Amino acid sequence: MAARSPSPRLQKHLAVLIDADNAPAAIVEGLFEEIARYGVASVKRIYGDWTQPNLGGWKKVLLDHSIQPMQQFAYTKGKNATDSSLIIDAMDLLYTGRFDGFCLVSSDSDFTRLAVRLREEGLTVYGFGEQKTPKPFVSACDKFIYTEILRADAAEAGAEPASAERSSAAAKAAEGSAAPAAAKKPKVPVEFIAKVIDDISDDDGWTGLGALGQNITKLRPDFDARLYGFRKLSDLLKAQPKRFELQELGSGGSSGKQVNVRNRKAGKGER
């Protein structure tokens, strides 16, 4: 295959390939909102055996989001022919040379080698799957987004104003579910972030927030501030004032993008 020349396009053209057997339809709103942050979904295909009732949830949303269903019958019971169909299509799309990246939506580790192969061709691979997704597939992607985050974001965005009675009922329900949800949030990897800052900082201990985010993603593709209850990396860092300090640089319209992060030295026992 001839070497790919750099794309002159301002936005990345992405191929979105969804494994319907390993992705819930409830993520669809949040999924495409997330993908829009990285580029344009030029191709949207979803794979499964559409004669089976378990894909009924996806059937209801395909037209609304212009997703093309790809039929794949199961040749043998217990064998997943859908995976092979998706992989073959991915390679066909790769060799067209029209795409800058792929979005692989599945929690199945069978797509690990596919992700690696796509990256070998210089394309960006975004993975989307549940937190049960095996680590090899997560690590094989440039960026991995857990779909539990997308479902939560979609639920917040879709909330409608309600009457006082309904609002009260919703508040009570939220109270009952708040504790378990909060308990499930993982601990912020403070020392990991501090080490990344130390590795890439200048002589004064400062580094750009954008560079920090990029390096964290290189080391941990599944890192996402939303997992810890924060919308952005900057919010997460501000919530750790004993360990990190943020400083605004510049003025005017450019000030928001020029933020440095410094790791304050802490004692060995401090967490």
CATH code assigned at 27: 3.40.50.1010
Instruction: Judge whether 171 lies within some domain.
Output: no
Instruction: Judge whether 144 lies within some domain.
Output: yes
3-state helix, strand, coil in the chain (%, to 5): 45, 20, 35
Containing structural domain, residue 217: 190-263
Instruction: Judge whether 7 lies within some domain.
Output: no
Same domain (yes/no): 144, 25: yes
Residue range 26-63, pLDDT digits in tens: 999 999 999 999 999 999 999 998 888 888 999 999 99
Asked if residue 182 has pLDDT above 50, the reply is: no
- Calculate the CA dihedral of residues 146, 148, 153, 159 and round it to 10 degrees: 170
Picking from 110, 131, 154, the residue at the C-terminal end of a domain is 154
Same domain (yes/no): 208, 148: no
Same domain (yes/no): 60, 150: yes
Residue 224, both tokens: 């996402």
Q: Tell me which of 243 and 102 has the higher pLDDT.
A: 102
Q: Tell me which of 205 and 240 has the higher pLDDT.
A: 240
Work out the pLDDT band at 267, boundaries 50, 70, 90: very low
Instruction: Judge whether 168 lies within some domain.
Output: no
Cα angle, residue 126 at apex, residues 121 and 128 outer, rounded to 5°: 140
Q: What percent of the chain has pLDDT over 90?
A: 52
How are beta strands 259-263 and 206-208 bridged, if at all? antiparallel
- pLDDT at residue number 157: 57
- pLDDT at residue number 198: 84
Instruction: Judge whether 183 lies within some domain.
Output: no
Same domain (yes/no): 103, 229: no
Same domain (yes/no): 250, 122: no
Q: Which helix (H) or strand (E) holds 136?
A: helix 135-140
Count of domains forming the chain: 2
- pLDDT at residue number 72: 81
- pLDDT at residue number 194: 87
**pTM (predicted TM-score):** 0.78
Contact between 258 and 248 (Cβ < 8 Å): yes
- pLDDT at residue number 271: 37
Asked if residue 178 has pLDDT above 60, the reply is: no
Cα angle, residue 7 at apex, residues 146 and 11 outer, rounded to 5°: 50
- pLDDT at residue number 205: 76
Instruction: Judge whether 173 lies within some domain.
Output: no
Residue 243, both tokens: 């360990």
Picking from 107, 126, 154, the residue at the C-terminal end of a domain is 154
Same domain (yes/no): 148, 245: no
Average pLDDT over residues 196-209: 83
Q: Is 94 helix (H, G, I), strand (E, B) or coil?
A: helix
Instruction: Judge whether 248 lies within some domain.
Output: yes
Residue 6 vs residues 40, 123, 124, 126: alpha-carbon distances, Å: 17, 11, 13, 19
Residue range 100-150, pLDDT digits in tens: 999 999 999 999 999 999 999 999 999 999 999 999 999 999 999 999 998
Instruction: Identify the residue whose tokens are 């005017």.
Output: 252
Q: Distance from CA of residue 186 to its chain's centroid?
A: 17
Instruction: Judge whether 167 lies within some domain.
Output: no
Same domain (yes/no): 111, 201: no
Same domain (yes/no): 129, 72: yes
Q: Which amino acid is at 23?
A: A
Same domain (yes/no): 214, 109: no
Mean of the per-residue pLDDT values for the chain? 80
Asked if residue 23 has pLDDT above 60, the reply is: yes
How are beta strands 259-263 and 244-248 bridged, if at all? antiparallel
